[in-house]
């Protein structure tokens, strides 16, 4: 049976930049096994499969697969899937804009999408802060996993908004670029940790700063990710929580994927009320680069 797909580059305004995403706008008839096989065949960081919602008040149900496993939430698949559905007029827009609600493993996810000619922008809004556990990763362990000296690591912590990450604040952009994943050290220190996913970044932690980042997720079959929206959400949520500001919006821009030759730009912000993070936003542009059909054997 043939199933249509669309390929999009997410968190970029330029084709062949950003993070690759394959979207199956109508995944009805595909088994779990077939979805995982298709995600492995594309071998992009994620592939999404769009289905009718369980709740008619929602727009679609979206399942997200890496090459190795299904995940309950991810950033660039939401941004890109919303853009694909709007671009192909598979959802209703008014004056080029729409608010979509996707059913996912973490629950309903709200995505605002705007179509302006060929320009596609989307923004996820999460009505919560980031979860930050009391346990912290070891700075020497993080340095070893990244093949960096210990003094290159300024701070470390875990956080999540649905997909967990280990955040590693690095002293310089140059050190971020020099990082190489040491699989043996990663296996020893992080493979069974609260999060095995390493998000390293340099730049100021005060709101308004521009950050420079990379992300390694070998447990999910992703050696390096060009843009990680779920990590950006957890990062700004945790940074905003650390901020002394009691009210207002704390925003950062994150450059990622530069070292891979797939530069990405993520806009991320957190809203605070009475000293507490109540809302997180992550967004960016999407470029549609191709479409086609995949044949799946009967009964697969």
Contact yes or no for 152/168 (Cβ under 8 A) = no
Domains of the chain: residue spans and CATH: 2-128+285-295 (3.10.310.10), 139-273 (3.10.310.10)
Q: Which whole-number Å values give the CA distances from 131 to 35, 77, 205, 279, in the listed order?
A: 29, 21, 18, 12
Please state the φ and ψ torsions of residue 85, each to the nearest 5 degrees. -65, -40
Residue 298 in this model has a pLDDT that exceeds 90: no
Q: What is the pLDDT of residue 244?
A: 85
Model pLDDT for residues 76-115, shown as the tens digit of each residue: 999 999 999 999 999 999 999 999 999 999 999 999 999 9
Catalytic residue among 13, 41, 46, 224: 46
Residue 209 pLDDT grade (very low, low, confident, very high; cuts 50, 70, 90): very high
Helix (H) or strand (E) holding 7: strand 2-10
Is 46 catalytic? The answer is yes
Q: What is the pLDDT of residue 44?
A: 97
Residue 118 in this model has a pLDDT that exceeds 90: no
Q: What is the pLDDT of residue 5?
A: 98
Average pLDDT, the chain: 97
**At CA 48, angle to CA 41 and CA 111, rounded to 5?**
155
User: How many percent of the chain have pLDDT more than 70?
Assistant: 100
Rounded Cα distance, 230 and 53, in Å: 22
Rounded Cα distance, 73 and 153, in Å: 28
Q: What is the pLDDT of residue 1?
A: 85
Residue 246 pLDDT grade (very low, low, confident, very high; cuts 50, 70, 90): confident
Rounded Cα distance, 42 and 121, in Å: 24
Q: What is the pLDDT of residue 117?
A: 85
Span 8-34, average pLDDT: 97
Q: What is the pLDDT of residue 242?
A: 92
- Checking DSSP bridges between strand 60-65 and strand 164-170, what pairing results, if any? unpaired
């Amino acid at each position: 049976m043939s199933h249509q797909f669309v390929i999009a580059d997410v968190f970029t305004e330029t084709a062949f930049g950003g993070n690759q995403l394959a979207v199956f706008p109508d995944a009805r008839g595909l088994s779990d096994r077939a979805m995982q096989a298709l995600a492995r065949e594309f071998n992009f960081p994620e592939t999404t499969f769009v289905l009718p919602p369980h709740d008619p008040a929602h727009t679609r149900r979206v399942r997200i697969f890496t090459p190795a496993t299904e995940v309950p939430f991810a950033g660039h698949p939401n941004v890109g899937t919303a853009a694909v559905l709007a671009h192909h007029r598979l959802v209703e827009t008014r004056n080029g804009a729409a608010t979509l609600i996707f059913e996912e493993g973490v629950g309903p996810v709200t995505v605002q999408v705007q179509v302006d000619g060929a320009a596609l922008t989307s923004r996820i809004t999460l009505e919560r802060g980031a979860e930050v556990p009391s346990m912290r990763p070891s700075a020497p362990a993080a340095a070893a996993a990244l093949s960096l000296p210990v003094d290159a690591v300024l701070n470390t912590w875990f956080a999540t908004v649905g997909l967990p990450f280990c955040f590693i604040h690095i002293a310089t952009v140059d050190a971020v670029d020099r990082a190489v994943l040491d699989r043996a050290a990663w296996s020893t220190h992080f493979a069974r940790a609260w999060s095995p996913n390493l998000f390293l970044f340099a730049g100021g932690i005060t709101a308004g700063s521009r950050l420079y980042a990379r992300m390694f997720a070998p447990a999910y079959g992703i050696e390096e990710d060009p843009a990680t929206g779920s990590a950006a959400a957890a990062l700004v949520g945790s940074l905003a929580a650390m901020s002394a500001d009691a009210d207002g919006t704390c925003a950062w821009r994150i450059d990622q994927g530069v070292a891979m030759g797939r530069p990405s730009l993520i806009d991320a912000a957190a809203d605070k009320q009475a000293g507490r993070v109540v809302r997180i936003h992550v967004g960016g542009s999407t470029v549609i680069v191709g479409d086609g059909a995949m044949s799946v054997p009967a009964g697969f």
